[in-house]
Amino acid sequence: MVKENKLKKILKENNVAIGPFMKFTDPAAIEITGFAGFDFVIIDTEHGPISVETAQNLIRAAEIAEITPIVRVRENNSSLILRALDVGAQGVEIPQISTKEDALRAVEAAKFSPQGERGVCRFVRAAGYSSLERFKYFKFSNKEVTVIAHIEGVEGVENLKNILTVEGLDVIFLGPYDLSSSCGVTGQINHPSVIKKMKEAVKLSREADVAIGTFVDSVEDGKKWIDAGVQYISFSVDVGIFYEACCRIVKNLRDLTISK
């Protein structure tokens, strides 16, 4: 059900929010993430096996653990955005935003009229299956839903000044790996050409008073971008976090065995 969006509150207060992408389909993974102290999770329906039915149960787990559930949809598609929000997502992260028109389409899909063109149905989980008073639901949803524009290429950065004029965008998210590919240095997320584009985007977003976000897979990179003014830090992916923790444990125990 629609409730106060803690992530939005953190960003409006100009504080930093952190959270991982999630590919595990077990709701326990979301609960653990929340109990660990992360601010949000990005339930990833673009990369990985998560369906809208699974996402609904993952959102329930996020609510139990008091962590903000964001759904990354597969594409900038009004039907996909609608379904993610109807099952209770408090925000949508929308990929491949490259132009102002892309951003307008994303906001229109996420907001009810008069702010957008989101399909209207109050017999959905987000509206308490019609238990919420209809006009309160429409108004509160427009206020609390977080719209995140995921910019993945040089074109998006070059058009960012125009993208930032779109009312209703809450976060500009820079995908460093896709941006590195667009810059011709695939995987080199700390290459000077990638860093330059990202710093341009951070500067423009901060000047427009729109929160800026990015993905990091190390604490060092997280610190670097927080120091640069990034507020929405997506730290790694659940499967990667689990893998790295397993590797550390195995290495430490193997080292003990070898030293005996």
Q: Give tens-digit pLDDT for 159-172.
A: 999 999 999 999 99
pTM for the predicted model, two decimal places: 0.95
- What residue spans define the domains of the chain? 6-259
Mean pLDDT value across residues 203-217: 97
pLDDT at residue 19, as a whole number: 98
Contact 39, 19 (CB under 8 A): yes
Between 195 and 3, residue with greater pLDDT: 195
pLDDT band at 2 (very low <50, low <70, confident <90, very high): low
pLDDT at residue 258, as a whole number: 75
pLDDT in tens, 85-126: 999 999 999 999 999 999 999 999 999 999 999 999 999 999
Mean pLDDT value across residues 130-153: 95
Phi, psi (rounded to 5 degrees) for 17:
-115, 140
pLDDT in tens, 11-33: 999 999 999 999 999 999 999 99
pLDDT at residue 3, as a whole number: 75
pLDDT at residue 154, as a whole number: 96
Identify any residues that bridge with 148 across adjacent strands, giving them in sequence order.
93, 171
pLDDT at residue 1, as a whole number: 62
Identify any residues that bridge with 132 across adjacent strands, giving them in sequence order.
none
Instruction: Identify the CATH number of the domain defined by range 6-259.
Output: 3.20.20.60
pLDDT at residue 259, as a whole number: 65
- Cβ partners under 8 Å of residue 136, min gap 6: none
pLDDT band at 257 (very low <50, low <70, confident <90, very high): confident
Token readout for 159 is 């058009």
- CA distances to 3, 107, 113, 152, 257 from 204, rounded to whole Å, are 31, 20, 29, 16, 53
∠113-117-118 over CA atoms, to 5°?
A: 95
Token readout for 5 is 């969006």
Identify any residues that bridge with 18 across adjacent strands, giving them in sequence order.
233
- 260 pLDDT higher than 80: no
Token readout for 204 is 């423009």
Token readout for 178 is 């896709």
Q: Left if phi > 0, otherwise alpha if psi is -120 to 50, otherwise beta: which for 63?
A: alpha
Among candidate residues 75, 140, 72, 84, the one with its CA nearest the CA of residue 102: 75
pLDDT averaged over every residue in the chain: 95
- The residue with tokens 């609390």 is 144
pLDDT at residue 4, as a whole number: 85
pLDDT at residue 169, as a whole number: 97
